[in-house]
Structure 1
Amino acid sequence: MPRPASGPRAPLPSPSRPARRRGLLLALGLLALPLPALAQFGGGGPTEVGVIELEVSAAPYQVVLPGRAVAHDQTEIRPRVEGLVEEISYRAGTRVEAGDLLFRLETDTYDVALAAAEAQLASAEATRSAAQAQVDRYERLEGVGSTRSDLDQARASLASAEASVAAAEASLKSARLNIERTEIRSPIAGIVDLAQVSEGALVTANQSQALTTVTTMDPIYVDVQESSARMLRVRKRLDEGTLTRAGDLDIGLVLETGDTYEGMGRMVSPRSEVSTTTGTVDFRIEFDNPERVILPGQFLRVTITLGETQAILVPQRATSRGSDGSLTAFIAEGETARQVTLTAQGTWQNAWIVTEGVSAGDLLIVDGLQNLRDRGAVTTVPVTINAAGLVEDQAPAGDAGSETGADAAAGE
C-alpha cells in the first residue's frame, strides 16, 4: 500500500477566547491576594514567631546518675547436717521471717545418736558419783584407815570421772544440735526463692549447691557512681556562691519505664576512694520498697537535688543541637532573629538551666522555628509555655474584663 506523501505539519490551534479569559482572571486573582497569601506562592515577607521574655529565677540543681538495685540482704540456705529432705515447708515467692522453717530432714540417725549420748552421760555421771564417794571416805579415814597415797589416787579417779562427764555432756550437746539442724530455718526476713531440691533428695553438710535463697528487698539499695571531676566542679560552685546548698539531699528515683518512684531515697554511705579505672566514686542509696516495685538487678536512674542556682530557664523545645554538639536558640532583636549559643548546667522539668548565652529581658523565640534562619526577618507574638512544655497564646488585655470582643461587637 503506498505511504502518504509527507508535507508541512498543520499549525497548532490557538487558544479560544474563553480560555484566554480564564487565564486573565486567574492572573488578576493572584494579584488581588494579600501579601501573606502571595508568600505561599513564593512571595517574601517576615516570619511570624511566638516569643517569651526570659527572666532570672531560682532553679534546683539536679544530677541524674545511672544506678543498679542491690538487695539489702541476701542469704543462700545450705544444710549443716546430712540427710534426706523430708519436707519443704514454704511456698516460693512468699515472705518469711527470721526463724521460719524452710526444710525438714529425716531425724532417725540423729535420734539414735542422741540416745547414745544420753546413755554415755548417765554412765559418766554414775562413775563420777562413785569416785566422789570414795574420795569422801578416804578423807574421813586419812591417817587411820587410809594412807595419803590412797587419797591421792581416789582424787585422781574423781578428776577422770568428771572429765568423762564433761565429754559426755559435749557429745549430748552435739547430738541435740544435729537434731535441731535437721530443721533448716531462715536466718533473715525476706522473700524466699524456689527450692533447688525436691523432697526425698539427699543433702550433705555445707554442700556447694544452695537449697534456696532468701532476699531482703524492703528496704533496698541502689548503687550509683558519680564522676569525681563533677564533684569538684560542684564544690567549686558552692565555694563561689553560685550554687546554694540544700538542707537535706532530695533523692528521687526513675524506674525502667520512665515513671517516677513515689518514695524518696536516703544516702547510706559514699566510698572514700576514686576508682582508678573509671574515675568515679561509688554511692549507696536506700529506698523503702514495701510493694517490691524495685527488684535486685534492675537498672534505674537516680536524681539528686544538690541545691539551688540562679539561672535562666530556657524551654527545651526552643533549642537545638548543632553538628558539633553546641546548644543553640533564637532570640528576637527588633524585627530580626539572632541565633545564640547557650551554656547549660543541667535541666529542670522541660527547660535547660542556662548560665550563659542569653540575658534577662531577651525575647526567646519558642514557636515558628521551622526554616528560621539567623538574621531572618520576623514579627513577634507573645505566647506562654504551659507546664507540659506546650505553647499557648497569651490572652489579650481586654479579655480580663467581663465583656469579650465578640460580646462588644454584638452589642454594637
Structure 2
Amino acid sequence: MNNKLRVASAISLALWLSGCDMSSHAASQDQTPPAVPVSIIELKSQPQAITMELPGRSRAYVEAEVRPQVNGIVLARSFTEGGYVEQGQSLYQIDDATYAAALISTKAELKRAEAALASTGATAKRFRELLKTKAISQQDFDQAEAAYLEAKASVAVAKAAIHNANINLAYTKVAAPISGQISKSSVTPGALVTANQAQALAKISQLDPINVDISQSSTQMLRLKQRIASGQLHQPESAQVRLILEDGSVYSHQGSMKFAEVTVNETTGAVTLRAEFPNPDGLLLPGMFVRTIITVGTDPAAILVPQKAITRNPRGQALAMVVDANNKVESRIVTTAEAIDNQWLITSGLKEGDKIVVEGLQKIRPGAAVVPSVMNDAKAS
C-alpha cells in the first residue's frame, strides 16, 4: 500500500513539473523581442554635380613628320634634338648642287625659247601683211603662225621648268612644317635621303594645348544618355574635365570636352572622347596614361546614402533597411549609380523623407521593432 502511494505521488510530481515547464515555455514564446536601438538618417534631396572617372591617354595637339621631298646627301642638321622649333625654321640642308645646276639649265632654256618666240613672232607678223597682198600663200602663213604659237608654248614650258627647279632647290632646305617640340633625328650629316622615303627624319609635336583621348564604355554612354533624356540629369553646355596624373597628383589646369566619336570600337566596346587641356609648363607629354574626372551633369534632386547603409542580397541586389512610421524595419531593393565620396547616388527605391538604418544593421531583420536615433551627417558618412 505504501509503495502504491509512493508511485502515485512520484507520477503526480512529474506531471506537475512538466506542466510548469510547458507553461513557462509558452510564456516565453508569448513575449515580444525587445526593440533594438539603431542609428538612422532621414533622406533629403539636393542638387548634386555628377562626375565620372574614366581612363585616358595624352596625345599631341598637332603632330607632323619631317620628310625629305628631294633626293640627296644631308650636309647639315640645324636644330637641337628635343628642343623647340618654329614653323619654317630650317632643320636639314640637303646637297643642292644638282638642283642649282638644273635651275641654271632651265633659265637657259627659257632664253632660247624666248629668242625663238621673237623670231617666229616677227615672221608671223610679216607674213600676215604679205598675205593681204597675196604675196604669199595661205599655207605659208599658216606654217608661220603655227611656228609662232609653238614658240609661245615653249616659253611657257620653260617658265614652268624654272618654277619646278626653284621648288626642288628650296626643298633642299628641309623646313619645320609646324611649331613645336622636335624629336631626336633619325639621320646624321652624310646620310643619303630620298623623296617619299618611309622613314621620317624627325617628328614635331605641338604640346600646348594638348589633347587627352578618353575611353568610355558604350554601356556607360547609353545609361548617361537615358538619364539626360529622362530629366534625371541636366547636361552642362561644356563638360569640364580634371586630370589625375600617374603619380596620383591632380593636374592644376582644367580641360574642356571637344568631341566624341560616333562609332563604337568593335574590339573594346568603347567610345573615344577627346578633351583639350592647357599645357604651358609642358608637364603633360604624349602617351602618358591619366585618369579623367568628367562633370557629366547635375542631378537636381539627388538622393545620397552612406555606402555603409547599403548591403547586398545573395542575388547581388542592393538593399537598404528602411524604418517605417511604426518603427518597424522594412528591407527595400534600391538601384545605385555613381559613388560620390563615401556615398551612393540612389536612382530608384528610396525617396526624400525615408528613414534608413546606418548603424545596427547586424542586429536587425525585416519586420523587427527598433528604437531609432537620428545621426548627424558627419557621423553618417
Calculate the TM-score normalised by the size of structure 2.
0.74
User: RMSD in angstroms over aligned alpha carbons?
Assistant: 3.7
Please say if 1:351 is aligned against 2:340.
no
2:378 paired residue number: 385
The alpha-carbon deviation at position 218 of structure 1 amounts to 2.5
Query: 2:330 and 2:198 mapped to 1: Cα distance?
Result: 70
Q: Would the alpha carbon gap of residues 79 and 337 (structure 1) be closer, same or farther in structure 2, given more than 3 Å must change?
A: same
Q: For the Cα contact (< 8 Å) 1:48–1:381, is it kept in 2?
A: no
Partner of residue 258, structure 1: 248
Deviation at residue 314 of structure 1 after TM alignment: 3.3
- Write the distance in 1 (CA, Å) between the matches of 2:164 and 2:331: 84
**How many Å separate the matches in 2 of 1:292 and 1:326?**
47
Identify the residue that residue 113 of structure 1 maps to in structure 2.
102
Percent of aligned pairs with the same amino acid: 35
Partner of 2:63, secondary structure, is strand
User: Any residues of structure 2 matched to 1:210-359 within 5 Å, and which?
Assistant: 210-309=200-299, 310-316=301-307, 343-355=335-347
Question: In structure 2, how many angstroms separate the alpha carbons of the residues matched to 1:226 and 1:135?
Answer: 76
**Contact map agreement 1:332 1:380 (CA 8 A) in 2:** no
1:95 aligns with 2:84: yes
The one-letter code matched in structure 1 to 2:59 is V
Name the SS of the counterpart of 2:188 in structure 1.
coil
8 Å contact kept, 1:64–1:303: yes
> Bigger CA drift: 317-326 or 176-185?
317-326
Aligned residue in 2 for 1:139: 128
The answer (yes or no) to whether the contact 2:240–2:257 under 8 Å persists in 1 is no
Provide the residue aligned with 1:25 in structure 2.
none
Deviation at 1:275, TM superposition (A): 3.9
CA distance in 2, matches of 1:283, 1:119: 58
The whole-number CA distance in structure 1 between the counterparts of 2:219 and 2:84 is: 43
Using the TM superposition, name which of 312-321 and 198-207 deviates more: 312-321
Give the direction of change, closer, same or farther, for the CA distance of 1:90–1:323 in structure 2 (3 Å limit). farther
Spell out, residue by residue over 1:83-109, the C-alpha distance to the aligned partner (whole angstroms, 9 max, x if none). 111221111222323222111112112
Q: Offset at 1:52?
A: 6.1
Contact 2:38-2:357 at 8 Å conserved across structures? no
Deviations 1:229-288 (A, max 9, x none): 333333333344333333442333332233333333333332333444444433233223
- Displacement, 1:53? 5.6
Alpha-carbon distance in structure 1 between the residues aligned to 2:229 and 2:145: 81
Unaligned runs of 5+ in 2: 1-35
Deviates more, 1:150-159 or 1:196-205: 150-159
Residue 119 of structure 2: aligned partner: 130
1:308 aligned counterpart, secondary structure? strand
Report how many aligned residue pairs link the two structures. 339
Whole-angstrom distance in 2 between the partners of 1:136 and 1:313: 97
Instruction: Provide the C-alpha distance between the structure 2 equivalents of 1:226 and 1:274, rounded to a whole number of angstroms.
Output: 10
| Distance (whole Å) between structure 2 residues aligned to residue 113 and residue 344 of structure 1 | 75
Secondary structure (helix, strand or coil) at the match of 1:237 reads: helix
Deviation at 1:144, TM superposition (A): 6.0
CA distance in 2, matches of 1:103, 1:317: 65
Q: Is the 8 A contact 2:241 2:295 kept in 1?
A: yes
Kept in 2, the 8 Å contact 1:79–1:184? The answer is: yes
Measured after TM superposition, the shift of residue 183 of structure 1 is 0.6
TM-score between the two structures when normalised by the length of structure 1: 0.69
Q: CA deviation at 1:217?
A: 2.3
Query: 1:141-181: per-residue Cα shift (whole Å, max 9, x none)?
Result: 33365433332222222122222222222221221111100
Measure how far apart 1:126 and its partner are: 0.9
CA deviation vs aligned residue, 1:102-143 (integer Å, no higher than 9, x gap): 111121121111111111111111111111112222223333
Instruction: Point out where structure 1 has 5 or more consecutive residues left out of the alignment.
Output: 1-46, 392-412
Residue 198 (str. 1) matches residue 191 (str. 2): no
- 1:92 maps to a residue whose letter is E
Change over 3 Å in CA distance of 1:106–1:324 after alignment to 2:
farther
| Structure 1 pair 148–320 and aligned structure 2 pair: CA distance change class (3 A) | same
Mean Cα displacement is larger for which, 352-361 or 103-112?
Answer: 352-361
Asked if the contact 1:60/1:348 (under 8 Å) is kept, the reply is: no
Measured in 2, the distance between the counterparts of 1:130 and 1:312 equals 95
